[in-house]
Amino acid sequence: MAADLDPSRWLRSARRLLGRMPIISAPFSRIPDQPVLALRDPWPGEPTQGSRLLKGEISVQGSVLPLLPEAWATVSGPEVAAELVHGFAWLRDLRALGSDAARLRARALILGWLEATPRLPPIAWSEAATGARLAAWLAHWDFVAASADEPFRQAMMARAWQDARDLAAALPAETMDRRAFTALKGLIAAGVSLPGGEIWLARALRFLNQEIERQILPDGGHIERSPEGLAAVLMDLVELRSWLATAKVAIPDLLTAALARAAPMLAALRHGDGGLALFNGSREGSPPLLSLLLAQTEARMRPAARAPAMRLERLAAGRTVLIVDAGAPPPRGQDRVAHAGTLAFELSVGRDRLIVNCGAAPAAPETWRDALRATAAHSTLVIADVNSSELKPEGLGRRPEKVTLQRHEANGAHWLDASHDGWRKPFAAIHRRRLYLGDSGEDIRGEDAIEAPLPQPFAIRFHLHPSVTASLQQDGAGVLLRTPNSGGFVMRADGARLSLEESVYAGAEERRRTQQIVLSGGPEDGPCLVRWALTRAGGG
């Protein structure tokens, strides 16, 4: 009841109702049949995805959904997938094909969507879906509509006009995670390209500054602590900056500063193959697109050396990169795609990923999505098969409340000492992890310990990238790892039983089978204190 009396919510609802009233005061003839300013989508599409769209299906973050012009009202799937489908950013994939068939399919899908408007689900009208749709339609106008007939152009523009009014009325959005930038991007696109959009533009710029201050951390990280989330935010900010420049609108100082500090942080969260580290709902992404994104920010390219706010720590020596989740999970309301992976790490040498997390499938069915969010899907320790953070559909429940971190560097070597209390309530336990990276990058050592009143069953998992070949050594005390380009490494451990088990990798477009090294122990083995080392194989 108290929420119903919240003045800000009441005002927002009132604005939304007013914004959705039919356009009575302005005759239909005032809505032009084309934008007054041409916008450009700065990102390349993926022709393979465009070909799928021609076949009537779309691949969205771990899910493949049917997408036909006559079946918009029946588009189903997890909310995150439906929101992306109704956002139309996939128009760039059809544009990438550059064919008449692709153009006609884009028109048919838009016309089908317009005809299905009364029957579309509520997610189609969310702030993020509406903003993404406005941006996509206006930035692809030349590709989709410039040569179309007048009724199609007028219908498309009338919907864009109404969507802009609805979006302006709905802001500030109730769901204020990274998707707030997508909503603002759409309103800015409408504000600079539709006649009379100045009021929408002014409103969007006011909320843009607020969101930058709230979501972009002092070190350039993003509050969701997700590499993919940071990349998505940067893409939105680069787009809207481009459109402001096209319209000769002054670029806000906060926007310029945010890009300058966020780009080095994103660069720090890439492995040697150019893809992203897999934390909190992230997948590898497209290395060429990430490189283009960083170039478009016009910021310095040197990766950030430290992450005191985002706490995704990068340790680099020689050709080796080690990235560690050394911070508390994102705050409530920003944890929609968060994983239970506190103190997990990933390791790459040159262009080869060795130790990884399993990845993410945010748009997959709940069972599969949560399996990838679980602690066991990360390269870290898990106690009694209980997640370090409780997984919920809307985010995380129980979670680590205290995460400590000490980091030292000397003569090119790195030490990291961290702990978290995610199992304090169920087991009164603390997980402590120490990591060492030698100056050559070929000597990686670790120590995992559980501080608890009673010994606990545990497993320390090291998920391997599918390109890595793993085999137990004859003495059973070590595992030999062979990489495509970087030679061989040996992992040995003391204080636990070592085994090689099956795993899965969902960091790329298609899931692949792989393996994991598991160090395990039970209460009968006494307190957990496990030391392990990964070193270059002799002659490797």
CA-closest candidate to residue 114, choices 146, 58, 82, 162: 162
CA distances (Å), 305 to each of 218, 323, 413, in order? Answer: 14, 11, 14
Say whether pLDDT at 9 is over 90. Answer: no
Q: Where are the domains of the chain?
A: 12-297, 312-536
Task: Give the residue with greater pLDDT, 71 vs 244.
Answer: 244
List % helix, strand, coil for the chain (3-state, nearest 5). 40, 25, 40
Identify the bridge partners of residue 492 per DSSP, sorted by sequence position.
478, 533
Query: What letter would DSSP give residue 72?
Result: G
Q: Report yes or no: 56 and 94 within 8 Å, Cβ to Cβ.
A: no
Report residue 174's pLDDT band, with 50, 70 and 90 as the boundaries: low
Query: What letter would DSSP give residue 389?
Result: S
For the 12-297 domain, the top CATH level (class) is mainly alpha
Cβ-based neighbours of 111, under 8 Å, separated by 6 or more: 69, 152, 155
Q: What is the pLDDT of residue 30?
A: 66
Say whether pLDDT at 507 is over 90. Answer: yes
Q: What is the pLDDT of residue 101?
A: 96
Q: What is the pLDDT of residue 78?
A: 81
Identify the bridge partners of residue 381 per DSSP, sorted by sequence position.
460
CA distance 103 to 146: 11
234 alpha carbon, distance to own chain's centre: 11
CA-closest candidate to residue 264, choices 314, 310, 305, 218: 305
Task: Report pLDDT digits (tens) over 446-496.
Answer: 999 999 999 999 999 999 999 999 999 888 789 999 999 999 999 999 999
Summary mean pLDDT of the chain: 92
CA distance 146 to 105: 15
Task: Report pLDDT digits (tens) over 354-402.
Answer: 999 999 998 888 899 999 999 999 999 999 999 999 999 999 999 999 9
pTM of the predicted model as reported, rounded to 2 decimal places: 0.93
CA-closest candidate to residue 127, choices 173, 187, 78: 173
Task: Report pLDDT digits (tens) over 253-277.
Answer: 999 999 999 999 999 999 999 999 9
CA-closest candidate to residue 418, choices 347, 355, 344: 344
Identify the bridge partners of residue 359 per DSSP, sorted by sequence position.
506
- For 509, the 3-state DSSP assignment is coil
Task: Report pLDDT digits (tens) over 306-351.
Answer: 899 999 999 999 999 999 999 999 999 999 999 999 999 999 999 9
CA distance 246 to 241: 9
Q: What is the pLDDT of residue 325?
A: 98
CA distance 206 to 172: 10
Tokens matching residue 463:
């998920």
DSSP E strands, 277-410: 312-317, 320-325, 345-349, 352-356, 381-383, 391-392, 395-396, 403-410
- For 16, the 3-state DSSP assignment is helix
CA-closest candidate to residue 441, choices 349, 338, 514: 349
Query: What letter would DSSP give residue 385?
Result: T
CA-closest candidate to residue 129, choices 81, 165, 162, 64: 81
Helices (H) and strands (E) in the chain, counts: 15, 20
152 alpha carbon, distance to own chain's centre: 35
CA distances (Å), 478 to each of 18, 111, 307, 433, 489, in order? Answer: 68, 60, 33, 20, 10
Tokens matching residue 23:
């356009």
Query: Omega of the bond prior to 287 within 30 degrees of 0, cis?
Result: no
Average pLDDT over every residue of 130-159: 95
Average pLDDT over every residue of 497-510: 95
Range scoring the smallest mean pLDDT among 2-11, 140-149, 263-272: 2-11
Q: Which region holds residue 240: left if phi is over 0, alpha if psi is between -120 and 50, else beta?
A: alpha
A 10 A CB-CB count for 476 gives: 10
Q: What is the pLDDT of residue 22?
A: 43
Q: What is the pLDDT of residue 540?
A: 41
Say whether pLDDT at 17 is over 70. Answer: no
Q: Report yes or no: 298 and 312 within 8 Å, Cβ to Cβ.
A: no
Long-range residue pairs from 515-518, CB within 8 A, at least 24 positions apart, any chain: 515/464, 515/468, 515/470, 516/461, 516/462, 516/463, 516/464, 517/461, 517/462, 517/464, 517/470, 517/479, 517/491, 518/459, 518/460, 518/461, 518/462
Task: Report pLDDT digits (tens) over 40-98.
Answer: 999 999 999 999 999 999 988 877 889 999 999 888 778 888 999 999 999 999 999 99
CA distances (Å), 302 to each of 219, 236, 265, 414, 420, in order? Answer: 14, 22, 9, 19, 30
CATH of domain 312-536: 2.70.98.70
Q: Report yes or no: 310 and 294 within 8 Å, Cβ to Cβ.
A: no
Q: What is the pLDDT of residue 173?
A: 66
Rounded to a whole number, what is the distance in angstroms from the first to the last CA of the chain? 67
